[in-house]
Chain A
Amino acid sequence: MVSQSTTPSVPVAGVAERDRPGAGERVREAVVRSWRPVALLVACLLAWWAITAAKLIKAYLVPSPAKTLQVMGDKTGYLWHHTWVTTYETLLGFVIATVVGVLAAVVMVYSSAVERTLYPVLLFAQVIPKVAIAPLLVVWLGFGLAPKVVVAVLIAFFPVVISMVTGLKAVDPEMIQLSATMGAGPLQTFAKIRFPASLPHLFSGLKVAVTLAVTGAVVGEFVGANEGLGYVIQQANGNLDTPMLFAGLLVMSLIGVVLFVLVEFAEKLLLPWHASRRGTAVTTTY
């Protein structure tokens, strides 16, 4: 088959060389990229400190950063335990929402009858305020882990389904036709084309879902719990212990940020090919 033509008959343009920056360069890049958000964060902390230091607001309403940090230091074990409980509920809810959401999306995309049946139900389930059904869940499921996880699942499920359905439907139809001419069965087409192609969409849904799952778990704890950060905040609220309330809030936000970063890291690892992950900025704006 390869006769006289083992060498290309025409010269071809080169593949763009990818830059491999050194360590120093990378640090500089990281600084350039992140100094703005860091500066904003520092400014917020400074404002918080200034307001409390100038006693513009009474200390029992807004505690100083120092006081809040002190509480976090004094009650580390207590906070750590409740943080772990909330994190566990959040993760469990997030994982269940992801698995069920992806499966539901796949079924909906492959069967329009199921899609037509399920979509209105899904939408209805989504518009019910989760805070409103949380008490009912406590009545049904008790004060344990279950109602918190269920609220987290309910709240995180919707973005997963919607993004996965969008992703599965966004596949190039010509790619599917090509797959048919290759003699691929539906399972092969799904595994090698449809599923990987839908992952960028799925991940944008997962990033929304993971932050919502924290909210879900805490809402569940508000309604009835003797553990978790929601419980910590309710207790602190009852005792007018604002430093503890602030500490709880801070830790709770931190959970959300850490989980978000983890999902983003997984995305980076799994989808190095995706357009949004390619190298440094290509465009320059003024």
Chain B
Amino acid sequence: MAEQDASHGGSVRLEDVAVRFRTRKKDVTALRDVSLDVAEGEFVAIVGPSGCGKSTLLKLVAGLLKPSSGTVRLRGEPVTGPRHDIGYVFQRAALLEWRSARRNILLQAEMRRMPADRARERTAELIAMTGLTGFEDAYPHELSGGMQQRVALCRALLHEPPVLLMDEPFGALDALTREQLNVELNRIWRETRTTVLLVTHSIAEAAYLANRIIVMTDRPGTIAEVIDVGLPDERDYATTMARPEFADATGRIRDLLGAASAAD
């Protein structure tokens, strides 16, 4: 199912995109010559050294940022402003402290004015799917980092977005929690068949989760290479790690990033 033809019916398409920021002292080119095509239902991971414009790329897709040149399309339409047909997950969970886990998830429904009973039903589904059962009424400060991030994920998935954008969602978690959440994200992706763009610093995470991995160069960020992982969608964590496809993908990324930035 992952082997769709990426050349047409693209879910996300960037053509010759560049982003330049003007700061007081100098102009900074964050992204240059970025062209990218993501098929519907595809899981694409983006890796690269710090500050190479990975987050900028997600913000472009979400319409939170305007490209200096080039075009960004989401599900066929050009992106001209903040898009509502996406789910967004940040590195920090960005939960509202005064709302319980359930009501944090329901924020999405309130803002979109979704019918209340449908929102409740969907919240219950997601809470079960992400293993938050029993924590619905806990406040963010009572939850561990991993649980907070699960809440943020539920909030991003509530409206069944066709595209999910994740900006280093597990970057602040400990290694064990991170593995657990990787396994869960793989399962959630298979169940929802949503298109996922995941920015990550973890080479293993990228190779375990993605169909394709986009490796970016240091600033100005360009695409160094696109790697087809070639693993089946359903992936057991331990056995996947031992597979030659996994070793090939991670080895190649390390080569590329080592060349791009030895310090990172």
Contacts and interface: CB of A to CB of B under 8 A. Distances in A.
Interface of A: 1-3, 5-10, 12-13, 15-16, 18, 172, 174-175, 177-184, 188, 192-193, 196-197, 271, 273-275, 278
- The main secondary structure of chain A at its interface with chain B is loop
Interface in B159-211: 180, 183-184, 187, 191-192
A9 B179 CA distance: 12
A182 B111 contact: yes
Interface in B126-172: 128-135, 138-139, 141-144, 146-147
18 contacts: A6-B129, A8-B132, A12-B131, A15-B135, A174-B92, A177-B88, A178-B88, A180-B64, A181-B64, A181-B82, A181-B83, A182-B108, A182-B112, A183-B111, A271-B98, A273-B97, A274-B97, A275-B141
Contacts of A15: 134-135, 138, 142-143
B95 to A, nearest CB: 9
Contacts of A183: 82, 84, 111-112
Nearest to B107: A192
A6 B128 contact: yes
Interface string B80-96: 00111011101010101
Contacts of A174: 90, 92, 94
Query: B interface, how many residues as a size bin?
Result: 35 or more
Contact of B129 (A2, A18, A179): A2
B208 to A, nearest CB: 15
Given A181-B88, A278-B141, 16 more contacts: A1-B192, A2-B128, A9-B184, A12-B146, A15-B134, A174-B92, A179-B111, A180-B64, A181-B62, A181-B87, A182-B111, A192-B110, A273-B97, A273-B98, A274-B97, A275-B97
Closest 9 CB pairs of A and B: A8-B131, A182-B111, A180-B82, A183-B84, A184-B111, A273-B98, A10-B180, A15-B138, A174-B94
B125 interface: yes
A42 B205 CA distance: 64
Contacts of A182: 84, 107-108, 111-112
Contacts of B108: 182
Contacts of B59: 177
A111 B143 CA distance: 37
